């Protein structure tokens, strides 16, 4: 068990700088997920922690020890690769035992560890098989088993579920969460799938272009994104963004004029915003409601039925498209005109720099209106 501390960690490949000074404090036993779009540096950051890439600048501490110059095997880590990286010519047992043979463990000790891991992952029946005789899900279990037997201080997962089909992904995700509960080991997990991030993480680190955009618990990120990027990245379907102007500022609220002509009072701390300043209003599809006295109106372009709820894509004019999520079956057809109401308590405001205005303290934990106003 160990904490992982990154201090101004940087990485360049030749002249291309891919990690721009990352500071991060991962606590002992914590499950931290790195998310971000392709090429944001999340995998590189994980490989820096693993020691598969050299750190260009800054310091990395695992369990209080500076490990910048330690070989991967000496860092007390185990890594699960996206491609499983099993030794193709060895059977499952040897795949798991191979790394232990070097650690001068006795044969019986190795055997006990391998069988314990196999029992934990329910792959005891597969120990004699070669990797090519296994399904994708079984291979990934073996890869996880190989990590477990090393008894690492820190588990590193590099998009471990990307190559699995949807059903297996959910199942393996649950097993990884269980593994974390059982071992209480520090885990760092890279994914581009925000559902994995939301469900697994104690804390999520959102990365973009080699920089940390925000670190926080899944709900913190969902309810209080620090900037436009995080707001757009977390949550599916994506948050709606509406360009508008500040019409006025009051204590604990900012009045914005909507493009359709109406105004809306958003309960956020003004923090030096001035009237006339262009801002971006953000609101999640769940918090936009079809209502006769709505502040914006538009034409329904497309309806997507999902069973438990449905999505309406509304063209609000001038190329602005709003996504609306409503419970149950759709009551509007494509082509019909609807007016929508924005739940002001759930609106976010972002300044020109992309930074979010802090929410007013009395509305910090809103509940979803979808459940409260299902009728």
Name the residues that contact other proteins, by CB under 8 A: 50-52, 71-74, 77-79, 81, 83-89, 98-99, 102-103, 130, 132, 146, 150
Nearer to other proteins, 104 or 318 (CB): 104
* Shortest spacing between CB 348 and other proteins, in angstroms: 41
Give the distance from CA 165 to its chain's centroid. Answer: 19
CB of 202 to other proteins, least distance (A): 24
Whose Cβ is closer to other proteins: residue 132's or residue 367's? 132
Give least dist CB 115 to other proteins, A: 19
CB nearer other proteins, residue 72 or residue 369: 72
Residue with tokens 């899944």: 218
Residue with Cβ nearer other proteins (131 or 282): 131
Where does residue 38 rank: exposed (0-12), middle (13-18), buried (19+ CB within 10 A)?
A: exposed
Place of tokens 């005891």: 124
For the sheet with 309-315, list strands across it: 288-290, 337-342, 296-305, 309-315, 321-327
* Shortest separation between residue 138's beta carbon and other proteins, angstroms: 17
C-alpha–C-alpha distance, residues 305 and 272, integer Å: 43
Q: How far apart are the C-alpha atoms of 258 and 340, rounded to whole Å?
A: 12
Query: Minimum distance from CB of 20 to other proteins (Å)?
Result: 24
Which of 73, 275 has the CB closer to other proteins?
73
Short-list 187, 190, 95, 183, CA closest to 139:
95
Tell the smallest beta-carbon distance from residue 98 to other proteins (Å). Answer: 6
Can you tell me the distance from the alpha carbon of 374 to that of 18, in angstroms, rounded to the nearest whole number?
46
Q: Using CB atoms within 10 A of its CB, is residue 272 exposed (0-12), middle (13-18) or buried (19+)?
A: exposed
Minimum CB distance to other proteins smaller for 21 or for 72 = 72
* Choice between 74 and 178, CB closer to other proteins: 74
User: With 0-12 CB in 10 A as exposed, 13-18 as middle and 19+ as buried, what is 122?
Assistant: exposed
- Closest distance between other proteins and the C-beta of residue 14, in Å? 13
């Amino acid at each position: 068990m160990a904490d992982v501390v990154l201090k101004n960690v940087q990485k360049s490949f030749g002249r291309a700088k891919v990690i721009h000074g990352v500071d991060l404090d991962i606590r002992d036993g914590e499950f931290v997920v790195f998310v971000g779009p392709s090429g944001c540096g999340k995998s590189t950051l994980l490989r820096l922690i693993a020691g598969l890439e050299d750190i260009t600048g800054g310091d990395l501490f695992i369990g209080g020890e500076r490990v910048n110059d330690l070989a991967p095997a000496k860092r007390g880590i185990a890594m699960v690769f996206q491609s499983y990286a099993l030794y193709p010519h060895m059977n499952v047992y040897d795949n798991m035992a191979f790394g232990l043979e070097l650690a001068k463990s006795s044969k019986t000790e190795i055997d006990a560890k391998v069988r314990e891991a196999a029992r934990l992952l329910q792959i005891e029946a597969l120990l004699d098989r070669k990797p090519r005789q296994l399904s994708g899900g079984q291979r990934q279990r073996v890869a996880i088993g190989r990590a477990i037997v090393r008894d690492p201080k820190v588990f590193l997962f590099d998009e471990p579920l990307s190559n699995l089909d949807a059903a297996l992904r959910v199942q393996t995700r649950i097993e990884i969460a269980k593994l974390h509960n059982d071992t209480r080991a520090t885990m760092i997990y890279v994914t581009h799938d925000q559902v994995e991030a939301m469900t697994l993480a104690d804390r999520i680190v959102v990365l973009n272009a080699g920089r940390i955009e925000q670190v926080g618990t899944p709900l913190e990120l969902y309810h209080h994104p620090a900037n436009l990027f995080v707001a757009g990245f977390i949550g599916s379907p994506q948050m709606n963004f509406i360009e508008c102007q500040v019409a006025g500022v009051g204590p604990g609220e900012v009045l914005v004029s909507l493009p359709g002509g109406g105004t809306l009072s958003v309960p956020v701390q003004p923090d030096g915003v001035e009237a006339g300043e262009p801002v971006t209003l953000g609101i999640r599809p769940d918090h936009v409601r079809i209502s006769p006295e709505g502040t914006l109106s538009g034409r329904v372009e497309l309806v997507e039925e999902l069973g438990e709820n449905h999505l309406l894509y509304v063209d609000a004019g001038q190329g602005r498209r709003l996504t609306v999520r409503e419970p149950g079956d759709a009551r509007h057809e494509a082509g019909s005109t609807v007016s929508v109401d924005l739940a002001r308590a759930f609106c976010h405001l972002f300044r020109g720099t992309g930074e979010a205005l802090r929410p007013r303290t009395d509305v910090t934990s809103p509940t979803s209106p979808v459940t409260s106003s299902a009728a």
